[in-house]
Amino acid sequence: MQYIIMNYTPPADHPDADAVRAAKDGALWGAYTKALIDAGVMVSGEALHPAHTATTIRMKDGAREVQDGPYADTKEQFGGFYVIDVPDLDTALEWAARNPAATTGTVEVRPVIMRS
């Protein structure tokens, strides 16, 4: 079964930003990604540009409403994701617990709906 592991980290102006940058740019993320690849569970993954570069769109009464920035103003921002293929949720949670974002932010795990 495939699961998405979503990385939520403090924004650049957060007091923990230096730790997040060091983890993102350094050995922690590289080691985590390599471990996923070496285990043969990584399907895909990408890092994202900072939340301030987002554009949000909603349709209201047939009209498009466009807003600069992310949907919600939160203490953490969605910074990237991994899609993994593992046997069950417990295994996905084991991998999520190893994610560097788990120490400075939050990691969300969700099953992927597979199309046939």
What is the overall mean pLDDT for the chain? Answer: 84
Examine residue 116 and state whether it is found in any structural domain, yes or no: no
Q: How many domains does the chain have?
A: 1
Question: Is residue 16's pLDDT more than 70?
Answer: no
pLDDT of residue 4: 96
Percent above pLDDT 90 for the chain: 44
Examine residue 42 and state whether it is found in any structural domain, yes or no: yes
Q: What's the predicted TM-score (pTM) here?
A: 0.78
pLDDT of residue 38: 98
Q: Mind listing the pLDDT tens digit for each residue in 31-79?
A: 999 999 999 999 999 888 777 788 888 899 999 988 887 666 667 778 8
How far is Cα of residue 18 from the mean position of the Cα atoms in its chain?
A: 18
Poorest-pLDDT segment among 18-27, 45-54, 56-65, 83-92: 18-27
Report how far residue 52's alpha carbon sits from residue 70's, in angstroms, rounded to the nearest whole number: 7
Q: What is the CATH number of the domain that holds 18?
A: 3.30.70.1060
Q: Which residue in 88, 87, 73, 82 sits closest to 108, CA to CA?
A: 82
pLDDT of residue 35: 96
pLDDT of residue 32: 93
Give the range of the structural domain holding residue 21, as residue numbers without chain letter.
Answer: 2-111
pLDDT of residue 30: 86
Orientation of helix 89-98 relative to helix 27-38, angle to 10°:
150
